[in-house]
Amino acid sequence: MKIGIVCYPTFGGSGVVATELGKALAQKGHQVHFITYSQPARLDFFNENLFYHEVYIPDYPLFHYPPYELALASKMVDIVKFEKLDVLHVHYAIPHASAAYMAKQILKTQNINIPVITTLHGTDITLVGKDPSYEPVVTFSINQSDAVTSVSDDLRVETYKYFKVEKEIEVIPNFINLERFRKQPKEHFKAAISPFGEKLLVHTSNFRQVKRVEDVIRIFAEVRKTVASKLLLVGDGPERPGIEKLCRDLNICQDVRFLGKLEAVEEVLSIADLFLMPSEKESFGLAALEAMACEVPVISSNAGGIPELNVQGVTGFLSNIGDVDDMVKNALFVLQEENLPRFKAAALAHAQQFETGKIVPLYEACYQSAIENQRKTVAAQA
Ligand code: GMT
């Protein structure tokens, strides 16, 4: 198939899923065309089936807000026509689903019928999407998509709850490349970070409010009173200055390392003992899956789709959002020498269920059926 993928090119989860999907599809022989405003962060290797088309927004003094959606729709029209794409797959509803709708309508006037698949990732529904500023457009463009997928059952339910969506939503969970995300021998790195065998707790996120990074710090501050440990923070975002201040206030800076936006996150996860994800909202929790694949158990909240990934008492523990005391209690239990090995093994075993090879065929089947339905509709109208 010739597949167009529209996504955010940044390190965010939806962009990561879209890029890894495109890479996996290209390796299976499909031709994949990324359409976005800059090179996707994880589009980092050459494959003859992978193409990247940059959306260019001409500057004009009148444009206080540059009309990205129009430039994107125009680019989609151009690429679908020139590359003869079979299907367009847009990740994150805003503004990709409505831009795709516009592109589809333009192409229709030229007798080109392109099916559009929309994948809902999380905040496009649970946070930004349901804001009245966007809701009517989000509802409309989801309903106009030829197929809709969501990354967890919880997100599917939330979508039906907040939007008048009539379309069937298929759940296709996040997936993981187990060749990249696996526990690697990084003993020298571990010795440098925790020279006295301290336990290593890790959190990775975009440091936004929904991630509750403050809870991460408070959990760690309590855990280190009982178990000698260090905290590694991967990622960056608006909450970081406040978090740095909190570390100073709690006088724990000597045991906390801010590593910033690291690309090789699997190297950090390879030396970790525990992953912390106390999020307020989390449609799936890709960062936790990456940790589990590297044999790291997870202490998390029970927000959104996390319970579909982290199995209570098996791969880690879940607590109510904001229940720092319970998370501390659970973390101390998992970190006990007699418990840690079985949690690590279970984390990996469960992550294997989300392996790329098991999930990508679900997207391929979704494309095939959308293309088939489109053909039937066109034939019926002829
Ligand atoms: O906030 C983030 O984690 C980024 C966000 C995104 O859309 O880029 O991630 C969402 O999509 C990921 C991939 O499907 C999910 O694993 C994350 O759980 C989800 N984040 C939230 O729902 C907050």
Per the structure, the complete domain to which residue 74 belongs is given by 2-175+356-381
Same domain, 147 and 204: no
Distances (CA, A) of 239 to 177, 212, 243, 246: 29, 9, 6, 11
Residue 7 lies inside a defined structural domain of this protein: yes
The CA 164 to ligand 1 mean position distance, Å, reads 22
Among 8, 128, 209, 283, residue to substitute to test ligand 1 (most atoms within 8 Å of Cβ): 283
Q: Which residues pair with 232 in a beta bridge?
A: 202, 257
Residues 15, 51 within the same domain: yes
pLDDT at 11: 66
- Are 107 and 211 contained in the same domain? no
Measuring CA to CA, which residue among 189, 196, 183, 144 is closest to residue 292?
183
pLDDT in tens, 221-246: 999 999 999 999 999 999 999 999 99
CB distance 277 to 306 below 8 Å: yes
This prediction has a pTM of: 0.95
pLDDT at 44: 79
Burial class (CB in 10 A: 0-12, 13-18, 19+), 198: middle
Cis amide prior to 58 (ω within 30 degrees): no
Token duo for residue 250 = 């709690």
From the CA of 91, give the closest atom in ligand 1. 7
Residue 182 lies in a domain: no
For residue 238, being part of any structural domain is answered with yes
Q: Which CATH number characterizes residue 205's domain?
A: 3.40.50.2000
In a domain, 180, yes or no: no
Backbone angles phi, psi at 13, to 5 degrees: -55, -40
Residues 309 and 370 in one domain: no
Q: Do the beta carbons of residue 72 and residue 94 sit within 8 Å?
A: no
Neighbours of 197 (CB within 10 A): 9
- Same domain assignment for residues 161 and 208: no
Which residue ranges in the chain fall short of pLDDT 70? 11
List all residues whose CB is within 6 A of at least one atom of ligand 1: 12-15, 17, 92, 121-123, 151, 174, 206, 210, 281-286
Q: Which of 145, 117, 171 is nearest to 304 (CA)?
A: 171
